[in-house]
Structure 1
Amino acid sequence: MQLADLWTDAEAAVLGLPPWAAVLVILGGSLALAWLVRVGGDVVIRRLTRRIDGDVDDAVFSTLHPPLYVSVLIGGVYLAGAVVWDFTTFGYPVRSGTLSILVVLWAWTLTRLGRRVATAASDEVSFDRKILPIFQNVWTAIVLGASTFVLLTLWSVDVTPLLASAGIVGIVVGFAAKDTIANFFGSIALYADGTYAVGDFVVLDSGERGRVEDISIRSTVIRTRDDMLVTVPNSVLNSALIVNESTPGRDRRVRVPVGVAYDSDLEHVESVLKEVAAAEGLIEERPKPRVRYRSFSDSAVDVELLGWIDDPVLRGRVTHRLVKAVHAAFREEGIEIPFPQRELTVVGGAPDGTADAGLDGTRDGHVDAATD
Structure 2
Amino acid sequence: MSIGPFLVKLGLTDLGLVLGLIVLVYFAWRRKKGLPLSVIVVFVGTLLLASALMLSGSGFVAPLPSRARAWLEFTTYLGVSFVLLKLVDLLVIEDHLIDRKGAYIPDVLRTLILLVGMTVAGLVILRLVMNINVIALVALPTVATAVVGVALRDTLVRFFAGISLGKMMRVGDWVSVMDKEGVVTDIGFGHMTLRTEDNDYVALPNNNVIQAGLINYSRPTTAHGCHILVEAAYRTPPAQVRTVLADAASAVGAVLADPAPEAMVEAFKDSGIQYRLRFWIRDYSKHQFIQSEVMTYVWSAFQRNGIEIPFPQRVVQTLMPQDRGVVLKRQADQIVAHLAKVDFFAILAPRQIESLASEARVQEFLPGEEVVRQGESGEELFIILDGTAEVRVRQDGLSSTVASLQGGQFFGEMSLLTGEPRTATVVALTPLKVVAINKQALSRVVQEDRSLVDRISGVVAQRHVEMAATKEQLSRESAKVALVSQKQSLMARIQNFLWGRTHR
TM-score bucket (shorter structure): 0.5 to 0.7
Provide closer, same or farther for how the CA distance between residues 195 and 310 of structure 1 changes in structure 2, counting only shifts above 3 A.
Answer: same
Alignment partner of 1:163 is 2:107: no
Shift of 1:159: 5.5
State the secondary structure of the residue aligned to 2:247: helix
From 86, 89, 102, the equivalent of 1:115 is: 86
TM-score (norm. length: structure 2): 0.41
1:122 aligned counterpart, secondary structure = helix
SS at match of 1:239: helix
CA shift digits 1:272-299 (9 cap, x unpaired): 2122112211111111111111222333
- 2:220 paired with 1:244: no
Q: 1: CA distance between counterparts of 2:138 and 2:289? A: 63
Tell me the secondary structure at the aligned position of residue 270 of structure 1.
Answer: helix
1:234 to 189, 197, 206: 206
Alignment equivalent of 1:210, drawn from 182, 185, 189: 182
Q: Which residue of 1 aligns with 2:249?
A: 277
CA distance in structure 2 between the partners assigned to 1:286 and 1:328 by the alignment: 23
Give the distance between the partners of 1:116 and 1:201, measured in 2 at CA.
32
* Larger fraction in strand: 2
Asked if 1:294 is matched to 2:266, the reply is yes
Query: CA separation in 2, counterparts of 1:107 and 1:227?
Result: 42
Q: Measured at CA, do residues 118 and 301 of structure 1 come closer, stay the same or move farther in structure 2, by a change above 3 Å?
A: same
Q: Is the 8 A contact 2:254 2:281 kept in 1?
A: yes
Asked if 1 retains the 8 angstrom alpha-carbon contact of 2:106 and 2:163, the reply is: no
Paired residues for 1:26-41 under 5 Å: none
1:311 and 2:293 equivalent?
no
For 1:180, what is the secondary structure of its paired residue? helix
1:227 deviates by 1.0
- Please name the residue that 1:134 is paired with: 112
Moved more, 236-245 or 108-117: 108-117
Amino acid at match of 1:244: N
Q: Indicate whether 1:197 and 2:170 are aligned.
A: yes
Structure number with the bigger relative contact order (C-alpha 8 A, sep ≥ 6) is 1
CA pair 233-162 structure 1, distance change in 2 beyond 3 A? closer
In structure 1, how many angstroms separate the alpha carbons of the residues matched to 2:168 and 2:134?
Answer: 45
Q: Which residue of 1 aligns with 2:303?
A: 331
**Counterpart residue number, 1:12:** none
Distance 1:162 1:129, change over 3 A: closer
Equivalent pair of 2:123/2:134 in contact (CA under 8 Å): no
Instruction: Tell me which stretches of 4 or more aligned residues in structure 1 moved more than 6 Å.
Output: 106-112, 149-152
- Aligned AA (1:189): S
The alpha carbon displacement at 1:178 in A equals 2.8
Q: Tell me if the contact between 1:282 and 1:318 (Cα under 8 Å) persists in the aligned partners.
A: yes
**SS state at 2:212 partner:** coil
Q: Report if the CA contact (8 A) 2:78-2:118 is conserved.
A: no
Return the alpha-carbon distance in structure 2 between the equivalents of residues 150 and 240 of structure 1: 48
Name structure 2 gaps, 5 residues minimum.
1-76, 315-504
1:175, 1:274 → 2: CA distance?
Answer: 59
Task: Indicate yes or no: 2:158 matched with 1:173.
Answer: no
The whole-number CA distance in structure 1 between the counterparts of 2:287 and 2:306 is 28
Paired letter, 2:201: L
CA contact (8 A) 2:127 2:134 kept: no
What TM-score comes out, normalization by structure 1 length?
0.55
Q: Distance in 1 between matches of 2:184 and 2:272?
A: 40
RMSD of aligned alpha carbons: 3.3
Percent identity of the aligned residues?
A: 27
Greater Cα offset, 285-294 or 108-117: 108-117
Quote the residue 1:263 is aligned against.
235
Counterparts of 2:206 and 2:197 in 1: how far apart (Å)?
A: 21
Once the two structures are superposed, residues 328-366 of structure 1 have per-residue CA deviations (whole angstroms, 9 ceiling, x without a partner) of 322332212223589xxxxxxxxxxxxxxxxxxxxxxxx
Structure 1 position 235, deviation (Å)? 1.8
Deviations 1:15-65 (A, max 9, x none): xxxxxxxxxxxxxxxxxxxxxxxxxxxxxxxxxxxxxxxxxxxxxxxxxxx
1:68 corresponds to: none
Q: CA deviation at 1:320?
A: 0.9
Cα distance in 2 for residues equivalent to 1:211 and 1:326: 29
